[in-house]
């Protein structure tokens, strides 16, 4: 049964959409009228110039009069060119982060109308300096090259997208992916709509992952294993600013695919827009509050089934079609003031039906090969990290756009703390991570990074690594 309040809400949204369309139509009509008026004035001046040139053939006309008309003609011609260009490819305003995206991904929001393009990229060299084991290798990697393209159709409808090239070549370990592609519709400051392949709004980096936005050559492990960044899914929802400094995003998206879960977490369950299984859906919501420009606090939640109507289990214990309810909750805070920066984030992951998943040989090879160590899917997983940095260059050079900041990050990840009964936890996956580094920006769009990472698992060893890399954004 539909109540009167939802009917009123739908009517209000329809009225807002109609009003926005009418306002934009008026704006376009105004621009075209201005072009028509200027072209008429241009034609009149061309006629005036023709008459003046005719006068030159009989009684000589004063040359200054001809020169003045030609000058006015050039001015009007240039103004007409600029207006026509603005209707197709307008100049871009200063870049800034908007509606959950980083500055480059937000470029389309800063134009009046037409096409926008932006990009970022990053590369690094990794050297394993201790506890190398048999698998650690020194490597250079062109990690990412990204192209943002967007098109603003009018004041209330635009398209935005990210195309990512990873690891330089699809012929080896690389791939080309659509990271997001969505249509935004603007109704009001408080409520706007978004649909398509969406970035799941969780954590610091899943939406804003341009290299100048975070310290280190490698994204924080908590935001890769507990929050499986970069994470996108098909869906639709709303976003807006409810009050000054209070922003939200809420979507319904396709659920994860539990067939990809494993002992490391849920990262393999991302469907990434590629013929996604859509038997199960999930809700995700996020809210951020900035009471001061230098401070942001917020959190997000994801709740949905991941079973996707699939069977899990084995021939001995039987098969079932579990729902695999998956829940992720995270809270975060960020402070930036007078060169000092700090971040903290905590994330919790809860997976129902972990026993059924752990018994499935496609997820846990150890159930069919007793020589392998158990690799169960844990029902509860947790991670947090905190980092600090300080840009001291203004103390040395005074007023400068250059940036030089040493930083430190501590992370704790627990992937195997709560494994199903009868399974053995792989304690090598529960670890403390210590990272220290230096970030240098000669200009705000270019960053050079040097960092050292030490990992301390509860069992076994993991290599220490030094990385040197760089990134850019425009």
This prediction has a pTM of: 0.79
pLDDT for 69 equals 66
How confident is residue 22, by pLDDT bands cut at 50, 70 and 90?
A: very low
In this predicted model, what pLDDT tens digit does every residue of 239-265 receive, in sequence order? 999 999 999 999 999 999 999 999 999
- Average pLDDT score over residue span 278-292: 97
Q: For residue 90, is pLDDT > 70?
A: no
Residue 56, SS3 per DSSP:
helix
Q: Find where tokens 């760089």 sit.
A: 470
CA distance 151 to 239: 19
pLDDT for 57 equals 64
DSSP string, 424-443: ---GGGSEEEEEEEEEEEEE
Produce one character per residue of 77-97: b if its CB has 16 or more CB atoms within 10 Å, e if not: eeebeeeeeeeeebebeebeb
- Average pLDDT score over residue span 193-206: 97
Report percent pLDDT > 90 for the chain. 68
pLDDT for 52 equals 72
pLDDT for 79 equals 64
pLDDT for 217 equals 96
pLDDT for 305 equals 98
pLDDT for 235 equals 98
CA distance 67 to 257: 73
pLDDT for 88 equals 40
pLDDT for 373 equals 64
pLDDT for 47 equals 79
CA distance 373 to 382: 22
pLDDT for 177 equals 94
In this predicted model, what pLDDT tens digit does every residue of 337-351 receive, in sequence order? 999 999 999 999 999
Q: Which residues contact 102 (CB under 8 A, 6 or more apart)?
A: 120, 207, 208, 209, 210, 213, 473
CA distance 234 to 237: 11
For the stretch 393-400, contacts whose Cβ atoms lie closer than 8 Å and that sit 24 or more positions apart, written own/partner, are 394/339, 395/339
pLDDT for 379 equals 94
Angle between helices 63-86 and 4-57 in degrees, nearest 10? 160
Q: Is 304 exposed, middle or buried (0-12, 13-18, 19+ CB in 10 A)?
A: buried
CA distance 360 to 371: 17
CA distance 78 to 143: 44
Q: Are 162 and 145 in contact (CB under 8 A)?
A: no
Structure-derived torsion over alpha carbons of residues 209, 213, 217, 221, reported in degrees to the nearest 10: -60
pLDDT for 66 equals 62
Q: What's 53's DSSP letter?
A: H
- In Å, what is the CA distance from 32 to each residue of 36, 38, 41, 80? 6, 10, 14, 10
How confident is residue 46, by pLDDT bands cut at 50, 70 and 90?
A: confident
In this predicted model, what pLDDT tens digit does every residue of 112-171 receive, in sequence order? 999 999 999 999 999 998 777 667 789 999 999 999 999 999 999 999 999 999 999 887
CA distance 454 to 411: 11
Residue 344, SS3 per DSSP:
strand
At 350, list the tokens: 């809860």
Q: For residue 13, is pLDDT > 50?
A: no
Q: For residue 375, is pLDDT > 90?
A: no
């Amino acid at each position: 049964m539909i109540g009167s309040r939802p009917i009123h809400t739908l009517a209000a949204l329809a009225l807002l959409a109609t009003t926005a369309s009418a306002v934009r139509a008026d704006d376009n009509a105004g621009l075209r009228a201005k072009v028509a008026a200027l072209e008429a004035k241009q034609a009149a001046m061309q006629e005036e110039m023709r008459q003046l040139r005719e006068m030159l053939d009989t009684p000589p006309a004063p040359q200054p009069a001809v020169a003045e008309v030609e000058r006015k003609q050039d001015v009007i011609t240039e103004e007409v060119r600029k207006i026509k260009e603005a209707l197709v490819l307008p100049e871009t305003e200063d870049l800034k982060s908007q509606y959950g995206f980083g500055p480059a991904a937000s470029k389309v929001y800063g134009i009046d109308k037409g096409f926008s393009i932006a990009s970022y990229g990053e590369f690094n060299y990794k050297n394993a300096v201790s506890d190398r084991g048999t698998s650690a290798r020194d490597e250079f990697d062109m990690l990412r090259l990204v192209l943002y393209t967007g098109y603003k159709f009018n004041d209330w409808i635009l398209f935005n997208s990210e195309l990512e090239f990873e690891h330089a070549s699809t012929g080896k370990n690389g791939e080309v992916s659509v990271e997001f592609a969505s249509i935004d519709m603007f109704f009001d400051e408080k409520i706007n709509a978004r649909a398509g392949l969406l970035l799941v709004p969780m954590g610091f980096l899943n939406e804003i992952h341009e290299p100048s936005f975070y310290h280190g050559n490698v994204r924080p492990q908590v935001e890769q294993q507990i929050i499986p960044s970069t994470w996108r899914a098909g869906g639709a929802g709303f976003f807006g600013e409810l009050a000054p400094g209070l922003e939200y995003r809420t979507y319904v998206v396709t659920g994860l695919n539990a067939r990809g879960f494993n002992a490391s977490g849920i990262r393999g369950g991302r469907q990434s827009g590629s013929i996604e299984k859509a038997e199960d859906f999930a809700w995700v919501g996020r809210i951020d509050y900035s009471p001061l420009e230098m401070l942001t606090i917020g959190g997000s939640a994801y709740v949905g089934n991941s079973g996707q109507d699939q069977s899990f289990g084995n021939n001995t214990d039987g098969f079932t079609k579990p729902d695999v309810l998956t829940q992720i909750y995270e809270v975060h805070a960020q402070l930036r003031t007078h060169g000092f920066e700090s971040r903290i984030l905590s994330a919790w992951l809860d997976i129902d039906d972990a026993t059924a998943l752990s018994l499935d040989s496609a997820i846990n090879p150890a159930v069919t090969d007793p020589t392998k160590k158990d690799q169960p899917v844990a029902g509860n997983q947790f991670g947090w990290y905190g980092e600090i940095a300080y840009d001291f260059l203004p103390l040395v050079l005074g007023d400068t756009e250059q940036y030089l900041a040493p930083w430190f990050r501590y992370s704790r990840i627990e992937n195997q703390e709560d494994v199903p009964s009868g399974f053995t936890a792989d304690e090598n996956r529960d670890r403390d991570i210590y990272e220290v580094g230096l970030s240098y920006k000669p200009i705000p769009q270019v960053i050079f990074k040097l960092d050292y990472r030490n990992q301390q698992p509860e069992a076994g060893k993991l290599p220490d690594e030094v990385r040197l890399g760089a990134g850019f954004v425009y």
